[in-house]
């Protein structure tokens, strides 16, 4: 059905975790004023979930595939938002007030309903790592089994909280579709962040994620 998932440098298969929730919004970058979701969790959203469960500066997460475990259903949502945003340093100093009623705007979003995914990912050690890869893998498994996390994971936006647990053997949904260009990763440097992209495709319910994306020189707003 699907090609084999890549193994880690130590020869281990990817770690897996199952996540689910009542809603999700993985915003397409070309449609973020009136937000429209991808039909599948994005790699950056998967990294956010993994880091909420377990993160240390000694390693980074590299998702290699995402399985879609529930049929794809969409719904629309209208909400009030404010355009009067405050810089963090001003908020800390209490030097700025927010006029939400005077800067209110209504926006529509097309979201996903009743979602479930299985994330496959590797731990990638950094130079200053003090333990072998296996040690971090074991810590992650224990945290998933105990339901431990640093903060509640979410599915695209914080209003859609995610539950998580060990992966089961449920088959991915029999869906094959081209998803278009998708954000692969964000690279933070001394100047503006840069972004890399890939052509995403859902094949028999599984989206494979290449090791690297195509970099763009022009910074794009997050």
Phi/psi at 139 (5° precision): -60, -40
The DSSP string of 120-152 is EEEEEE-TT--S-HHHHHHHHHHHHHHT--SS-
Listed in sequence order, the DSSP H helices in 16-94 are 43-53, 88-93
Q: What pLDDT sits at residue 3?
A: 61
CB 180 within 8 A of CB 207: no
What is the arithmetic mean of pLDDT over 90-94? 73
Q: What pLDDT sits at residue 170?
A: 94
Q: What pLDDT sits at residue 92?
A: 72
Q: What pLDDT sits at residue 217?
A: 59
Q: What pLDDT sits at residue 221?
A: 44
Per-residue pLDDT tens over the stretch 201-213: 999 999 999 998 8
- 43 band by pLDDT with thresholds 50, 70 and 90: very high
Q: What pLDDT sits at residue 212?
A: 85
> Residue 115 pairs with which residues in a beta bridge?
21
Question: Across all residues in the chain, what is the average pLDDT?
Answer: 89
The SS3 call for residue 32 is coil
Q: Is the pLDDT of residue 1 over 80?
A: no
What is the arithmetic mean of pLDDT over 35-48? 95
- 222 band by pLDDT with thresholds 50, 70 and 90: very low
Q: Is the pLDDT of residue 83 over 90?
A: no
């Amino acid at each position: 059905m699907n090609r084999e998932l890549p193994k880690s440098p130590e020869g281990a298969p990817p770690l897996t975790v199952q996540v689910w929730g009542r809603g999700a919004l993985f915003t397409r970058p070309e449609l973020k004023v009136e937000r429209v979701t991808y039909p599948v969790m994005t790699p950056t959203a998967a990294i956010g979930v993994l880091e909420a469960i377990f993160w240390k500066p000694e390693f980074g997460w590299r998702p290699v595939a995402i399985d879609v475990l529930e049929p794809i259903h969409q719904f629309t949502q209208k909400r009030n938002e404010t355009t009067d945003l405050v810089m963090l340093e001003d908020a800390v100093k209490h030097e700025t007030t927010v006029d939400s009623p005077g800067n209110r705007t209504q926006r529509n979003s097309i979201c996903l309903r009743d979602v479930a995914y299985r994330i496959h990912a590797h731990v990638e050690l950094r130079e200053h790592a003090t333990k072998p890869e296996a040690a971090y893998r074991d810590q992650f498994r224990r945290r998933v089994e105990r339901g431990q996390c640093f903060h509640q994971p979410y599915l695209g936006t914080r209003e859609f909280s995610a539950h998580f647990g060990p992966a089961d053997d449920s088959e991915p949904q029999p869906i094959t579709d081209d998803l278009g260009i998708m954000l692969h990763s964000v690279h933070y440097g001394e100047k503006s962040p840069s972004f890399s992209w890939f052509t995403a495709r859902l094949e028999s319910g599984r989206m494979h994620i290449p090791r690297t994306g195509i970099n763009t020189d022009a910074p794009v707003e997050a």
